[in-house]
Every structure is written in structure tokens, then in C-alpha cells.
């Protein structure tokens, strides 16, 4: 009974729009902060008022006729079946109305799809349950997840009043930062299931489908923070996948880019840490990245997500567990791309010494770093290659073709697979297929030049890959993915070109 009363009280507050309801309720669309969002709003209002006018005319005529031509006034119904004049009128009027609505609607739809002449491009990838952002022009790359305060408050029996958390469930750890007065092209895809990227203030939303590419664009004129969320039922934590867009004036945006790129050069903390330090840090990493599926106590969700408490994997060989965490398995994503080496070492150590497990061992960040492919291990805003080159790549040396292919496969999976797909089939027309590609099967130096300097939406990998990894991935694409060119290039040649 109490819950019923609370429900009715909430509905009344919603209807009245009282401030005590702690939210803003509206009966209409919001205008947004972009030209396209205002065009959509104007189109909506035009259609609404046309419908209102039609309703007034139709129901007004109907009620007038019913009242003034009723039987007790002596009226008798006319018996006629066809009237050419009436037939022409009620055909012409709806046609005119539809055309008057179709013209501005078509104009707005064409404007929505016009991604040409963009100033910059951002690739958005949906994951369960976070967003991955790649700035294709500057090489910045990071993941964006629900912020720590909201994540703690939303846990069962947390004891935290959600109303005490600022922007509860609508805040993230790393927002998407964009410049004002620039046309920004977005490219959407997904790594697992269907997601949908929606920020109401921008005026549109786009599905992010695995294996497909959707496009959209925006231009924000004024700086500000704009919030949204995933609007596709993408799994058990669908409601905890917010989006935050921060629009900055150009000087502020340039400063953010510079700071982000400088932070990327620092890489992860590879210093040895004590057992207790690793466990303490791992608890935080686990809560943010793992507790959703495996639950806070590590008991898992039977039939969906295995328990970590007492798990044979967690209690077994530590390097075997690390391989699964880094590379993923079944529904579990590859955390090598999402987390830094120190975070990975910490969370692995934590799962083995908490959650009811007492293995008593640990793994250091350096050991994880050696297992990571080049360019992996960056969860915070970072450029594509966050690991120090000297650590990841020693001296450049001659390698056999088979060695290059084996290493190239790892580099491809880390840097290329999200666009060109695992088997090289690509996502035409945005990301071309590599299987049978005239570039890949043609002159090797032409392919190297294209990869070195970038083209279109493809970044310049000459700045983000070491000479060894660059030579390896070139060799792999020409001798794998359905191609059999049977040639290769040595790292020393790439080094000379770099």
C-alpha cells in the first residue's frame, strides 16, 4: 500500500512539475544546442500545429454537425453517396498538407546525413558497458565509463542516497571533449552487441552495431557539458552506460589535446609494488571494471558470468589467468586494450587474494607489460601508443617472415581489427577490406607509405608503431587475411623511413 501511495505521489509531482520532484519534466522536445537540433525542433512544432489545426477543423465540424443537425430539431439525414466536389476537396487538401510537411522534413533529413567537409572525425565503439573513443585525426584514444560516485551508489545495499550524487548515472570518468564551431564527424560501431549513442542536446541518436558503420555529425556553437546515455537494451547494465560531451572553445580544446598527448607519453607505472599495494589498487579496478559481471563478492552469475570465488582459473597458473584477462574469452572483453599494465597487474593480484581466494602470489606491472601487444594498455585518455617504446621494443633486428607474421597478427588485433575486422573483410564503404585489396597485394612500398602517413580516416601509424611492429603488421596483411603475396619487409627498412 505504501509503495502504491508513493507511486501516485510521484505521478502527481511529475504532472505538476514541482521542484521537490528533484527533476525537470516537460511535455515537449528540448531545443538542443546545435543548428540541426533546432531544425528538428522547428520541424516537430510545424507538424504539431498542422495536426492541431486539422484536429480543430475536423472535430469542430463534427461536433457542430452533431449538435445543430440532431433529430430533435427536425433534421433528417440526407441520402447521397457521391459528390465530385467533396471528393476533389478532400483529396487536394491532404495532398497540400503532406507536401507542406514533406519539403522541410526532406531538407532536414538530407542535412542530418551530410557528413562531408568535416573538420575532424571521432570513432565511437560501444562495449558492454562503456564507450571507446578514437580521435582519428590526433591519435587520442580512451574509454569512458560510469563515474566512481554513481557506480558506488548504484550497488545494492550501498547505503548511499543516489540523490546525494551529482548527476547520478549521468556522469563518466572520461568525457568526450570536442571543440566548438567545428563540424565533427562521428563513426559508430560496436564490439559486442547493439548499442545506441544519444545526447539529446545534439538533436539525434545513432545505433552502434557490431560489424557495421553508422555516421553522424554535429557542430556545437557554445561551450558546455551535455549528457546522454545508451538507448539500446544492450545487457544487464544497460542503464549504467552514460555519455558526457564537453564542448570547449578552440584554445581550451587545444590545451586539452596537448595535455592528453603529454600524459600518454608517460605510460603506465611499471615500478615494482608490494603485495598489499597491488591488492588495494586491484580492489578499485575490480569494482569499476569487473564487479558488474562477476558481482562485488566474486560469486558471478551462474550460466552467464563465472564465479571468481574458488575459480580454478584464478587459483591456477597466474600467467594463464593473465592471458585470459588480457585477450578475453567468450563474453569477456580483452582488457589489454582497456587497462594499463599496472591496473591489470593489480586486479589480477586482487582476484587471487580476495573474493574468498588466498593464493598468496602476485604479478608485477613489468611482467604484464611484456605480455601486452604494442599500443595496448591505456584506459585513461591516451594516444594510440601509450607504452614507452624502449620498454616494449628493444633493438631493431632482422626477423624471418614467419616471425614477422606471428608478431604482425598480434599488432593487427591490437590496432587494426576494430576497423578492418578480424578476417580483413572491413566495413565497406567506410573501412575497406584488406582481403584481396589492390593496396595490400600491390607494391609493398606503396602500402608502407600509405600506412606510414595515413589516408582518409586511417591514422598515420608511422607515429604510433615501432619499426618492428610496423614491419610485422605489413607482412601479416600481405601473407594473412586471405592474401598470399609471399613477400615481407624488415624493421630496419621501416626504421630508415621513419
Per-residue pLDDT tens for 107-118? 999 998 898 889
Alpha-helix runs per DSSP H in 275-315: 275-289, 291-294
Q: What is the pLDDT of residues 308-330, one digit of tens each?
A: 999 899 899 999 988 888 888 77
Structural domains of the chain, count = 4
Residue 218 backbone dihedrals phi, psi, to 5 degrees: -150, 160
Mean pLDDT of 71-86: 81
CA distance 198 to 215: 13
* Residues 288 and 351 occupy one common structural domain: yes
Which domain-ending residue is among 383, 413, 438?
A: 383
* Residues 160 and 91 occupy one common structural domain: no
Q: Assess if residue 77 is contained within a domain.
A: no
Mean pLDDT of 263-289: 86
What confidence score (pLDDT) does residue 135 get? 93
* Residues 341 and 427 occupy one common structural domain: no
What confidence score (pLDDT) does residue 379 get? 46
Q: Assess if residue 30 is contained within a domain.
A: no
* Residues 232 and 330 occupy one common structural domain: no
C-alpha cell recorded at residue 346:
593489480
* Residues 285 and 368 occupy one common structural domain: yes
CA distance 457 to 94: 46
CA distance 342 to 371: 12
* Residues 248 and 279 occupy one common structural domain: no
C-alpha cell recorded at residue 367:
611482467
User: Is 243 buried (19+), middle (13-18) or exposed (0-12) by CB count in 10 A?
Assistant: buried
* Residues 63 and 144 occupy one common structural domain: no
**CATH code at position 231:** 2.60.40.420
Which domain-ending residue is among 232, 262, 292?
A: 262
* Residues 133 and 99 occupy one common structural domain: no
User: Is 386 buried (19+), middle (13-18) or exposed (0-12) by CB count in 10 A?
Assistant: buried
pLDDT of 373 > 70? The answer is no
What confidence score (pLDDT) does residue 68 get? 87
Q: Are strands 184-190 and 120-127 parallel, antiparallel or unpaired?
A: parallel
Q: Assess if residue 7 is contained within a domain.
A: no
CA distance 57 to 93: 12
pLDDT of 197 > 80? The answer is yes
Q: Do residues 373 and 336 touch, judged by C-beta distance below 8 A? A: yes
Which pLDDT band, with edges at 50, 70 and 90, does 23 fall under?
Answer: very low
Q: Assess if residue 14 is contained within a domain.
A: no
What confidence score (pLDDT) does residue 29 get? 82
Q: Assess if residue 476 is contained within a domain.
A: yes
* Residues 341 and 433 occupy one common structural domain: no
Edge-to-edge, what's the strand order for the sheet holding 130-135?
214-218, 184-190, 120-127, 130-135, 140-144, 382-383
What confidence score (pLDDT) does residue 171 get? 95
* Residues 379 and 420 occupy one common structural domain: no
Indicate the DSSP class of residue 482: T
pLDDT above 90 coverage of the chain, percent: 45
Indicate the DSSP class of residue 190: E
pTM across the whole model:
0.66
Q: Do residues 384 and 421 touch, judged by C-beta distance below 8 A? A: no
Sign of CA dihedral 308, 310, 311, 314: positive
What confidence score (pLDDT) does residue 191 get? 85
Which pLDDT band, with edges at 50, 70 and 90, does 126 fall under?
Answer: very high
Which domain-ending residue is among 233, 262, 291?
A: 262
Q: What is the pLDDT of residues 327-368, one digit of tens each?
A: 887 777 888 888 888 889 999 999 999 999 999 999 999 998
Q: Assess if residue 19 is contained within a domain.
A: no
**CATH code at position 338:** 1.10.760.10
* Residues 140 and 182 occupy one common structural domain: yes
pLDDT of 289 > 50? The answer is yes
Q: Assess if residue 232 is contained within a domain.
A: yes
Q: What is the pLDDT of residues 6-22, one digit of tens each?
A: 555 555 545 544 443 34
The alpha carbon of 401 is separated from its chain's Cα centroid by a whole number of angstroms, namely 36
Q: Assess if residue 16 is contained within a domain.
A: no
Alpha-helix runs per DSSP H in 221-340: 250-266, 275-289, 291-294, 318-327
Q: Which domain holds residue 439?
A: 395-497
* Residues 136 and 253 occupy one common structural domain: yes
pLDDT of 273 > 70? The answer is yes
Amino acid at each position: 500500500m505504501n509503495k502504491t501511495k508513493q507511486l501516485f505521489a510521484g505521478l502527481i509531482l511529475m504532472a505538476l512539475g514541482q521542484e521537490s520532484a528533484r527533476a525537470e519534466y516537460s511535455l515537449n522536445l528540448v531545443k538542443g544546442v546545435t543548428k540541426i537540433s533546432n531544425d528538428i525542433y522547428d520541424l516537430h512544432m510545424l507538424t504539431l500545429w498542422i495536426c492541431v489545426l486539422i484536429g480543430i477543423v475536423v472535430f469542430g465540424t463534427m461536433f457542430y454537425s452533431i449538435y445543430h443537425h440532431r433529430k430533435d430539431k427536425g433534421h433528417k439525414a440526407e441520402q447521397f453517396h457521391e459528390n465530385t466536389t467533396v471528393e476533389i476537396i478532400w483529396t487536394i487538401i491532404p495532398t497540400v498538407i503532406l507536401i507542406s510537411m514533406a519539403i522541410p522534413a526532406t531538407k532536414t533529413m538530407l542535412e542530418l546525413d551530410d557528413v562531408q567537409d568535416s573538420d575532424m572525425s571521432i570513432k565511437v565503439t560501444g562495449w558492454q558497458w562503456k564507450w571507446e573513443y578514437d580521435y582519428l585525426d590526433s591519435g587520442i584514444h580512451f574509454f569512458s565509463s560510469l563515474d566512481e560516485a554513481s557506480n558506488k551508489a548504484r550497488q545494492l545495499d550501498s547505503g548511499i542516497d543516489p540523490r546525494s550524487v551529482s548527476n547520478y548515472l549521468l556522469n563518466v570518468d572520461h568525457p568526450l571533449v570536442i571543440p566548438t564551431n567545428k563540424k565533427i564527424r562521428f563513426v559508430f560501431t560496436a564490439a559486442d552487441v547493439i548499442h545506441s549513442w544519444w545526447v539529446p542536446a545534439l538533436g539525434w541518436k545513432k545505433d552502434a552495431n557490431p560489424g557495421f558503420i553508422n555516421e553522424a555529425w554535429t557542430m556545437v556553437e557554445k561551450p558546455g557539458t551535455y549528457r546522454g546515455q545508451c538507448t539500446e537494451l544492450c545487457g544487464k547494465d544497460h542503464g549504467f552506460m552514460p555519455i558526457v560531451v564537453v564542448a570547449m572553445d578552440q584554445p581550451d580544446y587545444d590545451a586539452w589535446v596537448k595535455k592528453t598527448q603529454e600524459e600518454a607519453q608517460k605510460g603506465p607505472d611499471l615500478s615494482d609494488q608490494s603485495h598489499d599495494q597491488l591488492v588495494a589498487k586491484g580492489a578499485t579496478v575490480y569494482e569499476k571494471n569487473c564487479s558488474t559481471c562477476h558481482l562485488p563478492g566474486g560469486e558471478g552469475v551462474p550460466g552467464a558470468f563465472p564465479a571468481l570465488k574458488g575459480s580454478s582459473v584464478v587459483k591456477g597458473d597466474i600467467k594463464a589467468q593473465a592471458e585470459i584477462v588480457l585477450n578475453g574469452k567468450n563474453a569477456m572483453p580483452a582488457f589489454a586494450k582497456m587497462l594499463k599494465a599496472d591496473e591489470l597487474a593489480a586486479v589480477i593480484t586482487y582476484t587471487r587474494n580476495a573474493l574468498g581466494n588466498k593464493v598468496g602470489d602476485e604479478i608485477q606491472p613489468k611482467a604484464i607489460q611484456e605480455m601486452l601487444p604494442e599500443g595496448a594498455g591505456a584506459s585513461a585518455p591516451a594516444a594510440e601508443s601509450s607504452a614507452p617504446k624502449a620498454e616494449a621494443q628493444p633493438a631493431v633486428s632482422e626477423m624471418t617472415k614467419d616471425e614477422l607474421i606471428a608478431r604482425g597478427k598480434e599488432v593487427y588485433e591490437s590496432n587494426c581489427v576494430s576497423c578492418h575486422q578480424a578476417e580483413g573483410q572491413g566495413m565497406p564503404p567506410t573501412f575497406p577490406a584488406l582481403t584481396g585489396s589492390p593496396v595490400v597485394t600491390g607494391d609493398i612500398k606503396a602500402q608502407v607509405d600509405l600506412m606510414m602517413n595515413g589516408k582518409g580516416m586511417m591514422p598515420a601509424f608511422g607515429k604510433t608503431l615501432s619499426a618492428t611492429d610496423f614491419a610485422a603488421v605489413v607482412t601479416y596483411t600481405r601473407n594473412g587475411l586471405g592474401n598470399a603475396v609471399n613477400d615481407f619487409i624488415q624493421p630496419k627498412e621501416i626504421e630508415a623511413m621513419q
